[in-house]
Structure 1
Amino acid sequence: MRVITFERYGAPEVLQYQEVGEQVPSDNEVLIRVKAIGLNRAESMWRHGEYVEPVNLPARLGYESAGIVSAVGANVTHVSPGDAVSTIPSFSLNDYGMYGEEVLAPAHAVVKHLSSLSFAEAVSIWNPYITPYGALIATGLLKATDTVLINAASSSVGVGTIQMVNMMGATSVALTRTREKRQQLLDAGAQYVIATEEQDLVAEVMNITDGQGASIIFDPVGGAHFPQLISALTPGGTVFIYGALSTDVTPLPILDVIAKKPIIRGYNLFEITTHPESQKKAVEFISRGLESGALKPLIEKTFKFDEMVQAHHYLEKSQHLGRIVVVVD
């Protein structure tokens, strides 16, 4: 079996395929014969050595895979050989990597997914939905009266957030750089779309909210445009920063902060996934949304396992809408 590793930081070409021998799960591990892998921007950042923790080289990578259980450790009782499962991001990439034809995963990260989902769909649900769930639902923050600005809305998390905001009866406003993806975002469920490089963001938001401003901003970008987001926020509103896609310095508009008293907090899904009870509630909530049809994974493009370098190049173009999936034969 092959797994994917890298020995130095850099472009997708640093990824390499490595043959591994027989893998045997420890007491609290699950061995999975992989059928599909879901790509995350975090893995690109990891490959560049720009993630939230230092990378121990040589390194593995990959948070989300789906497949069939091959073997389980002595302490594992919630899944059995032959079960169709997927993995939830709830571990360090220094410890485990899901890019492989057969991989070991920590038992706490392995769940049975709905039988109605394909393997490709199963790797398109956890990060895209648990991320907004933890910020908006688990906190009890999101109300039907809220207007939510969703930055980088065409990402898989962005699309997942649009669907979750709509599911809760609130108003979803997708932010994208140009009008190119406007219709696709509307088709994906966004109630409003603002092209931030072509329209006046603050004016558009004030028009949508009758001058009140957005009550919640969900931002994985930061960077030079961050002050505009604060200007578009209602007094006392909340900004969740869950990523750092921009490499620019993120200015803090002091006068707007003084005037609007925003709540600005960092967030990542590990707040939910590393706590068993919180993870369980998230899985149950998302499963109900999938069963009802309110949540529906959107897959942009699939690649073969031998095309992981091409898949990462496609990921880094940031032109996709929804999830990029790698299929393992």
Structure 2
Amino acid sequence: MKAIQMREPGGPEVLTLVDLPAPEIRSATDVLVRLEAAGVNPVDTKIRARGTLVPETLTAVLGCDGAGVVEAVGEGVTRFQPGDAVWFCHGGLGGPHGNYAEYIVVDERIAQPKPASLDFVQAAAAPLVLITAWEALYDRAALHAGQRVLIHAGAGGVGHVAIQLACLAGARVATTVSSAEKARFVQDLGADYTINYREESLRDGLADWTEGRGVDVAFDTVGPAVFRETIPLMAVYGDLVTILDPGHDLDLKEARNRNLRISLELMLTPQLGGLTEALDHQGKILRRCGELFDAGKLRIQVAESFPLEQAAAAHRRLEAGGAVGKYVLRIG
């Protein structure tokens, strides 16, 4: 099969189109998927640059998100049959099992029926960011109706689905953007208040929007500097969730004074740890999101798609920043 492989850490140029043996069904609950598309995520670029997350592996086929058609099933599979369209988040952390390839094998509990309203490119763009945003807002912060939430980088992959999930929960949403175009985009998704961080004061804007109280929930998708900047913007007893390492030199005095609950979100933990119950929970998240897509209550934005052989170009575009939505590789 055709696949994009990295043999050592480095820049986008280490991503090489190769021929690899197609994976085989080895377990009774395995599902062989012929991939039509694969999502491209920041974690892919980090693994490519720094090395795999799976110990003792140097080479890797990257790609955590996949969407495609079931080609064959193990003898114990009950949920799928050949010809079924599926989507999932699995693989891509090290070794040959990633989605930048023509085929992948996943356990049937990992794969979920693809929403009928999404094509394969859209479906491949969605799983990782959906699960990340869902776990951050609903599982970590317990977001509920009437709260005010700040979502950083609202036009990004995670941010633009987080806005929609927050709105579905009945929260009021403020978000940061870097342009008027992105402001229009997030407002169309349901954001109540946008702040162009290049031109406006985030502190002053949120003080006005919350009448000095601060936001009940904040979701950091950017990194340490933004995480630190967000602490004094929080309401007392608020929830601050980040998907990144907040840094080693963090002063939490203000967070303690505000009695904040700080949560770390890494949706890859169940896969890294082989946590069956957590993987099942993530499957339920995808099934629920599929229902929301098909009901017209959720949408995914694809910034651009690339053919598989242009994976390096997709990585360069992602690392350049400024994307509205997600990048995707077309395989089928």
TM-score (norm 2): 0.89
Residue of structure 2 in register with 1:15 after alignment: 15
Q: How far 1:214 moved relative to its partner?
A: 0.6
- Give the whole-Å Cα distance in 1 for the aligned partners of 2:115 and 2:309: 28
Residue of structure 2 in register with 1:158 after alignment: 159
Residue of structure 2 in register with 1:266 after alignment: 264
- Give the whole-Å Cα distance in 1 for the aligned partners of 2:267 and 2:117: 25
- Give the whole-Å Cα distance in 1 for the aligned partners of 2:163 and 2:143: 13
CA deviations over 1:176-216 (Å, ceiling 9, x no partner): 34556322322333221112232211111111111110111
CA deviations over 1:133-176 (Å, ceiling 9, x no partner): 11222457111111111112222111000111111111111123
Q: How far 1:315 moved relative to its partner?
A: 1.1
Q: Are residues 1:289 and 2:287 paired? A: no
Question: Which deviates the most, 11-20 or 184-193?
Answer: 184-193
After the TM superposition, which residues 310-325 of structure 1 pair with which residues of structure 2 at under 5 Å, given as runs? 310-325=313-328
Question: Which deviates the most, 313-322 or 88-97?
Answer: 88-97
Residue of structure 2 in register with 1:29 after alignment: 30
The answer to whether the 8 A contact 1:29-1:104 is kept is yes
Q: How far 1:269 moved relative to its partner?
A: 2.0
- Give the whole-Å Cα distance in 1 for the aligned partners of 2:186 and 2:117: 25
* RMSD between superposed Cα atoms in Å: 2.4
* 1:253/1:199 CA distance change after superposition, 3 Å: farther
How many residues align? The count is 326
Question: Which deviates the most, 24-33 or 267-276?
Answer: 267-276
Higher RCO (CA-CA < 8 Å; seq separation 6+): 2
Aligned mate of 2:308, from 289, 305, 311 = 305
- Give the whole-Å Cα distance in 1 for the aligned partners of 2:215 and 2:56: 37
- Give the whole-Å Cα distance in 2 for the aligned partners of 1:198 and 1:233: 21
After the TM superposition, which residues 162-241 of structure 1 pair with which residues of structure 2 at under 5 Å, given as runs? 162-177=163-178, 181-241=182-242
CA deviations over 1:4-58 (Å, ceiling 9, x no partner): 1111111111001120234321114222111111111111111112676657201
Q: Are residues 1:143 and 2:141 paired? A: no
* 1:30/1:241 CA distance change after superposition, 3 Å: same
Q: Are residues 1:4 and 2:9 paired? A: no
SS at match of 1:18: strand
Percent sequence identity over aligned pairs: 27
Question: Which deviates the most, 191-200 or 203-212?
Answer: 191-200
TM-score (norm 1): 0.90
Q: Partner amino acid for 1:8?
A: E
The answer to whether the 8 A contact 1:64-1:88 is kept is yes
